[in-house]
Chain A
Amino acid sequence: MIDFTEVNARESVDEAVRRLVTATHFASGSIVSMPVTYPSGSTVTLEVTLQQGRCFVSDRAGGFQEAEMCGATRYFNTEATRIADSLGIRFDGRDMFVAEVPAGNLRGAMVVVANASAEAASAATLRAADRSDKDASDQLYERLATIYKTKDVQKNVQMVGQSNHKWRISVLVMDKFQQWMFEPVTGNYISAVGTAAKFHDFAGVEHAPFRAAVIKSREDMKDFYGLVAGASTKVITINDPDETFHKLMAAA
């Protein structure tokens, strides 16, 4: 690589590449930091031991710990079991590992275990975030039930959109004449894209219901704000005063 500055680019690249994978050796085995990361940004570290020419490769329960630190161990157990089964490796409730790998196949085994551990932790973290949306849904229901005392307020209502797909509406407020849908939505991909798809599907029905996206803040939505706003009748924040919610209803 040609570099016209004083910095030697080739050395910089070589140094970066050298440090992508590091191994620390002990009497009983080695700990290897792999260039694969968990959601937090921590690299996956593997424990490799060798006995009679066969290797044992474990993630040292690193995926479990990543999930544990954000309260997602329950989801991790499910995801790690699923991923281990699909890849033909093992999961004992904490560690993901392969046993009895010929030394010549060690590199491939390390790649598989590292990626399996990261994938299970990522899936568990995503599911924990989805659980957070459900908590937000309960909170929103309690708030709306207090604000709209004279109307029928229901949660987790199934409704059919223009596509004939059945959607779960987090909170539905109704009177004799009209329906108002409320969905808590965050800047999380699944939450934002799911809400936008749901609202688009109801925008196309005859007598389209009022669709309110309830967000934590404009900043929280990042660049998903426009996507959700485009599908919603109104976007409001959960901390808006009761008066804002009443005006919303009156204007519909």
Chain B
Amino acid sequence: MAVLPADIAELIASEKSLGDIPVWDEKTDPHYIVFTHALTVGTVATGGFQLRVKVSRRWVDRDALMQLEYAPAGKRSAVGLWRLDWKPFHTHGNKSLPLDVAFESYDGSHQHPFADNFMPEAMRMRGNNLPRGRPFPSDPKTLSDFLALGGELFKIKDIGRISLPATGPDIFWQPDD
């Protein structure tokens, strides 16, 4: 796990900007359409501080994620800082901490907040890939709403620059009611 920048907590708390329009990668991942995009604070970009978004190829109404992360040049490891899982198929289960959400299980949307997973005294994120989760403040109904919520939580002021990928739902993977 790479060492985080000394001002990482300030970066998280600051208003951020995408700067330009992220470009979706529709080829690399067989399950998701993805992009990673450098974030700027004011006019300054911290190398490796970026937003990753993954949306499902099959479903337009679930199974997407947004993650703030730090991926410094020259290092093989990126560090997840704050992740939002929108209507995933998996359940997230907390361990014994934080106390107010100990042993909670989230069957639907949930987040892995920076504040719960950052260890300021050690200047690193907790091991095991953001193990502490919490529910969303509200559960978005659409992918557009989810991106908007991500912009609000992550403080990305121009999140509206993200255009949705031009894909429809996979008719073979619709609910079998």
By beta carbon, the residue of chain A nearest B176 is A25
Q: Assuming A39-B129, A41-B131, A72-B77, is B90 touching A62 (CB within 8 A)? A: yes
CB-contact partner of B129 in A24, A40, A136, A219, under 8 A: A40
Q: Give the dominant DSSP class at A's interface.
A: mixed
| Per-position 1/0 for B121-133, Cβ under 8 A of A | 1111001111101
User: Does chain B have a CB within 8 A of A77?
Assistant: no
User: Does chain B have a CB within 8 A of A220?
Assistant: yes
Q: Assuming A60-B31, A94-B30, A220-B122, is B89 touching A24 (CB within 8 A)? A: yes
Counting chain A CB atoms within 10 Å of each CB, which of B67, B77, B88, B175 scores highest? B77
What is the CA–CA distance of A70 and B75 in the complex, to the nearest angstrom?
12
**Smallest CB separation, B134 vs chain A (Å):** 12
Check A42–B90 contact: CB distance below 8 A: yes
In A116-141, which residues have CB < 8 Å from any B CB?
A: 125, 128-129, 131-132, 135-136, 139
Residues of A within 8 A of B94 (CB): 41
What is the CA–CA distance of A28 and B170 in the complex, to the nearest angstrom?
10
In B154-170, which residues have CB < 8 Å from any A CB?
A: none
Check B77–A132 contact: CB distance below 8 A: yes
What is the CA–CA distance of A27 and B174 in the complex, to the nearest angstrom?
6
Q: Which residues of B contact A (CB under 8 A)?
A: 1-3, 29-31, 54, 67, 69, 71, 75-80, 83, 85, 88-95, 105, 107, 112, 119, 121-124, 127-131, 133, 171-176
Q: Which residues of A contact B (CB under 8 A)?
A: 19, 22, 24-29, 31, 33, 37-45, 60-62, 65-66, 69-72, 74, 94-95, 125, 128-129, 131-132, 135-136, 139, 186, 188, 216-217, 219-220
* Contact sample, A vs B, 29 pairs, CB 8 Å cutoff: A22-B91, A26-B174, A27-B172, A27-B176, A28-B172, A29-B173, A38-B129, A39-B129, A41-B92, A41-B94, A42-B85, A42-B92, A43-B93, A44-B90, A61-B29, A69-B67, A70-B78, A70-B129, A71-B1, A125-B129, A128-B1, A128-B77, A132-B1, A132-B77, A132-B124, A135-B1, A135-B2, A217-B121, A220-B122
